[in-house]
Amino acid sequence: MTEHKNQAPVWHGTTILSVRKDNRVVVAGDGQVSLGDTIIKGSAKKLRRLAGGDVIAGFAGATADAFTLFERLEAKLEQYPNQLTRASVELAKDWRTDRYLRRLEAMMAVVDKEVSLVLTGNGDVLEPDDGLIGIGSGGNYALAAARALIDRNDMNAEEIAKTAMKISAKICVYTNENIITENL
């Protein structure tokens, strides 16, 4: 959590995980919203389908920032249909250079059937080598668990994502076990 003198605590914490396995991609998000050390809501939906359902986006950061970035990405996807990477690069350029957008401190995980990307306000558009993405306060825990589970033949992408998220919830105080998934 970030706190500055004379300011209220900043909304903090979430976990978003994306798992790509066997021509399937799953994005999972927990439902906890925290303000400082207080849980405000346990059933928030932090994932959105964009581009007519062909893209799934997950967000770690403030809610207003999320809606702004989802809208901007949706507009870029309309401008560059079926080109998630191009739309993401264009959003990252705007995010980095626009006076209003560059104040947003957030990360996004975005996926389609072909590609998985992490977008940041620093202008990063990153595609992981292994098709696994973890962002937010519990993201590294979920990512580590997913990496440990990915080679199991008895688990599909959704089972790996849910199991990894539950492991993250046992470690990260800003993550709960109310897991929502979206699949492509």
Q: Which of 127, 62, 64 is nearest to 92 (CA)?
A: 127
Catalytic, 163? Answer: no
| b/e per residue 154-176 (b: at least 16 CB within 10 A) | ebebbebbbbbbbbbbeebebbb
Residue keyed to tokens 């072909």: 114
Residue keyed to tokens 């439902």: 31
Residue keyed to tokens 């799953």: 26
Rounded to whole angstroms, the Cα distance separating 24 from 26 reads 7
CB 77 within 8 A of CB 57: no
CB 138 within 8 A of CB 175: yes
Catalytic residue among 14, 15, 163, 175: 14
Active-site positions? 14
